[in-house]
């Protein structure tokens, strides 16, 4: 079935949902975005995603073409129009149409795109058996150059690392910052467990402030587990008991091998499985 896409100020047919070649989102990756899940007809953590989108936009001096409330209504309208009960929303704000130079001030109106569709998930088997990762040689963007908290349309830094992983047939890569500390995976946040304590690199180490990350930290604490944010090195990942990633698409996924070394006993560990379980039921049953 053809989708209805929200384009700027209204829903249009998928075939009409086209963007100008002069949009600076395309020409320069100048824009911001969000990926959001729909579970059981409910939009998961919608306000947190909208807040992060506005923060990202503010950080790059981009005016979102509508207010938060109006945007929430546009998202809900798009989800309803496409009858998405369980799926994924891609929310994009581009700098808009301008001239060929870098100057963003030639772009008079920011572009807004909302896509509500099905989601491509990792196979269930990967959650049961756990995923392999490598350490990327591509260093995460220096936070003083482009703060990784900004969910910008320019993902080249992560894409270069992702290719390193795909080159050796693993789905994900861990990225380190300019000081060698763990930043994040190419599209997910990183956690480890050691002696039943959960450690997460601080956001300032160079990661997106993941919304799944925040939910998982909250759920872990509700389970009485200690969560500590501290800088982690490659050594910490090599010797940890459990390693897992969190993200909107992946939810919570156990990592069982890094750089050819087994983690723990080579299967997703008990705390990873507990948190995956808790997250799964929280996402699907929670009131709006
Ligand atoms: N880091 C990066 C680079 C991401 O793109 C994402 C989102 N896919 C995440 C972390 C996870 O963030 P969230 O839980 O908000 O999806």
Residues 219 and 183 in one domain: yes
Spatial separation of the C-alpha atoms in residues 116 and 94, rounded to whole Å: 17
- Same structural domain, 104 and 134: no
Residues 95 and 143 grouped into a single domain: no
233 shares a domain with 96: no
Q: What is the pLDDT of residue 121?
A: 86
Rounded distance from Cα 101 to ligand 1 centre (Å)? 30
Q: Are both 93 and 216 inside the same structural domain?
A: no
Tokens of 57: 């936009």
Residue 186 CA: nearest ligand 1 atom is: 3
CA of 106 to the centre of ligand 1 (A): 30
Q: Of 117, 144, 179, which closes a domain?
A: 117
Q: Give me the tens of pLDDT residue by residue for the chain, a chain 288 residues long.
A: 799 999 999 999 999 999 999 999 999 999 999 999 999 999 999 999 999 999 999 999 999 999 999 999 999 999 999 999 999 999 999 999 999 999 999 999 999 999 999 998 889 999 999 999 999 999 999 999 999 999 999 999 999 999 999 999 999 999 999 999 999 999 999 999 999 999 999 999 999 999 999 999 999 999 999 999 999 999 999 999 999 999 999 999 999 999 999 999 999 999 999 999 999 999 998 543
Among candidate residues 88, 2, 111, the one with its CA nearest the CA of residue 37:
88
CA-nearest residue for atom 3, ligand 1, is 187
Q: Which active-site residues does the annotation give? A: 151
- The pTM is what? 0.96
Q: Is the CA virtual torsion 113, 116, 118, 121 positive or negative?
A: positive
Domain check: are 69 and 162 in the same one?
no
Distance CA 106, CA 232 (A): 43
Residue 99 sits in the same domain as residue 240: no
Residue minimizing CA distance to atom 10 of ligand 1: 188
Is any ligand 1 atom within 6 A of the Cβ of residue 210? yes
Ligand 1 contact via 187 beta carbon (within 6 Å): yes
Does one domain contain both 15 and 109? yes
Q: If you measure from the C-alpha of residue 99 to the centroid of ligand 1, how many angstroms do you get, rounded to a whole number?
A: 31
Residues 134 and 234 in one domain: yes
Chain-centre distance of CA 9, in angstroms?
Answer: 25
CATH code of 168's domain: 3.20.10.10
- DSSP 8-class letter at 236: H
From 90, 117, 144, the end of a domain falls on 117
Residue 288 is assigned to a structural domain of this protein: no
pLDDT at residue 1, rounded to an integer: 79
Domain that holds residue 30: 4-117
User: Of the residues 117, 148, 181, which one is the last residue of a structural domain?
Assistant: 117
Tell me whether residue 59 is in a domain.
yes
Instruction: Quote the pLDDT of residue 286.
Output: 53
H helix runs in 12-155, sequence order: 24-28, 46-59, 68-81, 124-129
- For residues 163 and 271, state if they share a domain: yes
- Please indicate, yes or no, whether residues 158 and 263 belong to a single structural domain of this protein: yes
Domain count, the chain: 2
pLDDT of res. 251: 97
- CATH number of the CATH domain containing 80: 3.30.470.10
* β-pairing verdict for 251-258 and 4-7: unpaired
Q: Do 53 and 178 share a domain, yes or no?
A: no
């Amino acid at each position: 079935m053809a989708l209805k896409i929200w384009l700027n100020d209204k829903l249009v047919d998928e075939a009409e949902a086209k963007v100008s070649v002069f949009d600076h989102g395309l020409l320069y990756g100048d824009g911001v975005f969000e990926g959001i899940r729909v579970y059981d007809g409910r939009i998961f953590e919608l306000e947190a995603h909208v807040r992060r989108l506005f923060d990202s936009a503010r950080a790059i001096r981009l005016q979102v073409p509508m207010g938060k409330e109006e945007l929430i209504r546009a998202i809900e309208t798009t989800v309803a129009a496409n009858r998405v009960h369980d799926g994924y929303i891609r929310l994009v704000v581009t700098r808009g149409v301008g001239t060929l130079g870098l100057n963003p001030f030639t772009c008079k109106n920011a572009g807004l795109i909302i896509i509500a569709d099905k989601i491509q998930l990792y196979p269930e088997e990967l959650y049961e058996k756990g995923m392999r990762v490598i350490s990327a040689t591509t260093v995460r963007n220096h936070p003083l150059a482009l703060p990784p908290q900004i969910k910008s349309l320019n993902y080249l830094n992560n894409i270069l690392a992702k290719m390193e992983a795909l080159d050796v047939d693993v789905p994900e890569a861990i990225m380190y910052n300019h000081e060698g500390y763990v930043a994040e995976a190419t599209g997910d946040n990183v956690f480890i467990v050691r002696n039943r304590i959960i450690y997460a690199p601080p956001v300032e180490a160079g990661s997106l402030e993941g919304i799944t990350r925040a939910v998982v930290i909250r759920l872990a604490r509700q389970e009485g587990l200690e969560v500590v944010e501290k800088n982690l090195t490659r050594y910490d990942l090599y010797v940890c008991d459990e390693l897992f990633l969190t993200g909107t698409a992946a939810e919570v996924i156990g990592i069982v091998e890094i750089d050819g070394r087994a983690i723990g006993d080579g299967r997703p560990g008990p705390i990873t499985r507990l948190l995956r379980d808790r997250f799964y039921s929280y996402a699907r049953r929670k009131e709006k």
